[in-house]
């Protein structure tokens, strides 16, 4: 059965510009071709695929890990690319919720599952049930 996340593919309008953006926020470019590129951040494999994006209009988003000391640098890069924020942080740990150049909802989050679960012990969500 499933053993983990393999890769994320995002459709982008302008592959060179999207590649520049993802490299600026910390991804390493491995290869690119006429309509796509493979990048990584840590063990996260990202495929950019040129086409017509149709981002979700709901809360669905992709969250990436970031260190507390890198948040300010990320905000500077986001301002340089003139991307918008889509939500203010209200959860444990510092987060920046932002759109990429094609409107995909992303988050840079300082915490981990362990820190989130620890915070839920102090401030549980309504109807929270523990399973492990």
In a domain, 3, yes or no: no
| pLDDT, tens only, 4-60 | 889 999 999 999 999 999 999 999 999 999 999 999 999 999 999 999 999 989 999
| Residue burial 78-111, b: 16+ Cβ < 10 Å; e: rest | beeeebeeeeeeeebeebbbbbbbbebbbbbbbb
Q: Specify the CATH number for the domain of residue 106.
A: 3.10.180.10
C-alpha–C-alpha distance, residues 117 and 53, integer Å:
34
Number of domains in the chain: 1
* pTM, entire model: 0.91
Which tokens in the block code for residue 53? 């994006």
Q: Does residue 127 carry a pLDDT above 90?
A: yes
In a domain, 84, yes or no: yes
In a domain, 15, yes or no: yes
In a domain, 2, yes or no: no
| pLDDT, tens only, 95-109 | 999 999 999 999 999
């Amino acid at each position: 059965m499933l053993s983990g996340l393999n890769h994320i593919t995002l459709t982008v309008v302008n592959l060179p510009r999207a590649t520049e953006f993802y490299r600026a926020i910390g991804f390493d470019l491995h290869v690119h071709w006429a309509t796509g590129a493979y990048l990584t951040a840590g063990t996260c494999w990202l495929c950019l695929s040129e086409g017509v994006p149709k981002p979700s209009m709901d809360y669905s988003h992709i969250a990436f890990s970031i260190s507390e000391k890198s948040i300010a640098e990320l905000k500077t890069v986001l301002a340089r690319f003139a991307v918008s924020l889509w939500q203010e942080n209200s959860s444990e740990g510092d987060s920046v919720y932002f759109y990429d150049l094609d409107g995909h909802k992303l988050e840079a989050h300082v915490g981990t599952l362990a820190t989130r679960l620890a915070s839920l012990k102090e401030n549980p969500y309504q109807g929270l049930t523990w399973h492990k």
